[in-house]
Amino acid sequence: MTRIIGLTGGIGSGKSTVANYIASKGIPVYIADEEAKKLMNSEQLLTKIQAIFEENIMTDSGNLDRKKIAEIVFNAPEKLTELNKIVHPAVKIHFDNWVKLHKNNPFVIKEAAILFESGGNLTCDKVILVTAPEELRIERAMKRDKVDRASVMKRIQNQWSEEEKIKRSDFIVNNLDLKTTLNKIDQILKILSKQ
């Protein structure tokens, strides 16, 4: 049975860098946010998602206007709840099918920003948390997303606290510098391979 290893971390923690590194080792990595974006633009979900919102949330090219949706849901948490009720079950089905494709691997990685918030950790055998001091995470996110501090803070406030995530994680990777972080990931992968 293929084990599912969760990989998560708050905004600016560096979890995407870690996910890419793990994938470069030939280990299957499922990037939940990317897959959710693709599924949200599928015909099947588009109509359901548009029905949640009063205003048009489509771009001229016929895709979802993710920026507009983000603005709406940040100010209307009930809309986010409705959106999640459509997207999360679709991602779960997609992920379960993806795991079947990799059933010959001893383990796969499920990378999700809101692994704990969505309850995704409950289906994981182990969880790796990538963390960093809040100030460093804010700086990284501002630089990467070209947004102001207030935008990053709003996103941080919508995620669980680092303390809560640490309590529920099996492996903690404090990402201060890349070399040390990747060495730590190598050690974790070695441990997982032996289990």
> Which structure tokens are listed for 173?
């990777």
Beta bridge partners of 129: 8, 172
Q: How far, in Å, CA of 19 to CA of 27, rounded?
A: 10
Annotated binding residue 120 = no
Annotated binding residue 12 = yes
182: number of CA atoms within 13 Å, CB side?
11
What number of helices (H) and strands (E) belong to the chain? 9, 5
Q: How far, in Å, CA of 147 to CA of 145, rounded?
A: 5
Annotated binding residue 17 = yes
Three-state secondary structure readout of 104-139: CCCEEEEECCCCCCCCHHHHCCEEEEEECCHHHHHH
Residues 6/129, Cβ–Cβ less than 8 Å: no
* Largest pairwise CA distance in the chain: 52
Residues tagged in the binding site annotation for ATP: 12-17
Residues tagged in the binding site annotation: 12-17
